[in-house]
Amino acid sequence: MADKPAFQMDADWLPFHPNPSKPAYVPPPGAVDAHCHVFGPGDVFPYAPERKYTPCDAPKEKLWALRDYLGFSRNVIVQATCHGADNRAVVDALQASGGRARGVATVRRSVTDEELQALDAAGVRGVRFNFVKRLVDALPRDELLEIAQRIKPLGWHIVIYFEAQELPELYDFFTSLPTVVVVDHMGRPDVTKPVDGPEFALFTKLMREHTNFWSKVSCPERLSKLGPPAYGDVVPFARHIVESFPDRVLWGTDWPHPNMKTHMPDDGHLVDVIPQIAPTAALQQKLLVDNPLRLYWPEEVR
């Protein structure tokens, strides 16, 4: 009898690209893919009962192979909602990475100091607060603030994920957070609206007036209406953020691209967008090397 998979990927999901193209763009030495995930494998690291989707397995070995193929040196592995607050898959990957990966975890207020210390020892450097309603049931804000105060002494930061239409309501809460705050995917702008319009202006105001805020200029594949390979409608948004805040931006593949239902990006194409959004070697060095090292490997920065 054939083995039944422990978890069956959602029927409307696409698996990650099996053979991405080799990018024409060559990242600088030491480049960091600062937003990616590992999923399962589900029979070893089960998906969370409260998850809103069941992904394809995307184990660490595949992530290392992609890192090397695309010309990157290191990864920042971000806990995804399908694993809830069970960080074992991320921790396993960090411990197997030989120091070449750091992580962002998800915790609840029930986390103990010993558990936080163990995550830190494994290479976790932040927690993620997710406000995307299709992905999570919202946690009470007092719980998030409590977690923020507990992780601050560790020198960790907070990664926030939200969609642009939610920013007005969340703005004051975000600016009350006591650590560095990294925004996933530029706060998911609606790229059919103007880059100098009021919606994106609120996000740039957040970045300009609160210098503890950083942005990932990632995920053109989620934001674009024009689509691959150039994702040309997302480029002006990302380039504006990179040029305005060159010391507070990060880039990542978002592999294995959870919840992509219409097209699965070719990761080589995503890498080839980098010189469009960071058009000089100096900006690329900050985006891909200097900034992620400052946040995730500060002990290497003099």
Closest CB 117 distance from ligand 0GY, rounded Å: 24
Active site residue 254: yes
User: Smaller CB distance to ligand 0GY: residue 79 or 284?
Assistant: 79
Tell whether residue 81 is a contact of ligand 0GY (CB under 6 A).
yes
Which two tokens mark 145? 């603030």
Which two tokens mark 228? 């691959």
Tell whether residue 234 is a contact of ligand 0GY (CB under 6 A).
no
Is residue 90 within 8 A of residue 79, CB to CB? The reply is yes
Tell whether residue 57 is a contact of ligand 0GY (CB under 6 A).
no
User: Smaller CB distance to ligand 0GY: residue 135 or 202?
Assistant: 135
Q: Looking at 33, 57, 184, 254, which residue is catalytic?
A: 254
Share in percent of the chain as helix, strand, coil (round to 5): 40, 15, 50
Cis (ω within 30 of 0) for the bond into 41? yes
Tell whether residue 75 is a contact of ligand 0GY (CB under 6 A).
no
Q: Could you say which residues in the range 155-184 bind ligand 0GY, by CB under 6 A?
A: 184
Closest CB 36 distance from ligand 0GY, rounded Å: 8
User: Smaller CB distance to ligand 0GY: residue 81 or 97?
Assistant: 81
Q: Could you say which residues in the range 242-271 bind ligand 0GY, by CB under 6 A?
A: 254, 258-259
* N- to C-terminal Cα separation, the chain: 58
Tell whether residue 276 is a contact of ligand 0GY (CB under 6 A).
no
The site for ligand 0GY, by CB under 6 A, has a size of: 10
Task: Give Dmax (Cα) for the chain.
Answer: 61
Task: Report CA Rg, the chain.
Answer: 18
Cis (ω within 30 of 0) for the bond into 55? no
Whole-number Å distance between alpha carbons of 251 and 186: 11
Three-state DSSP class for residue 100? coil
Is residue 182 within 8 A of residue 215, CB to CB? The reply is yes
Closest CB 185 distance from ligand 0GY, rounded Å: 6
Tell whether residue 80 is a contact of ligand 0GY (CB under 6 A).
yes
The residues annotated with a catalytic role in the active site are: 254
Binding site for ligand 0GY (CB under 6 A): 80-82, 130, 135, 184, 222, 254, 258-259
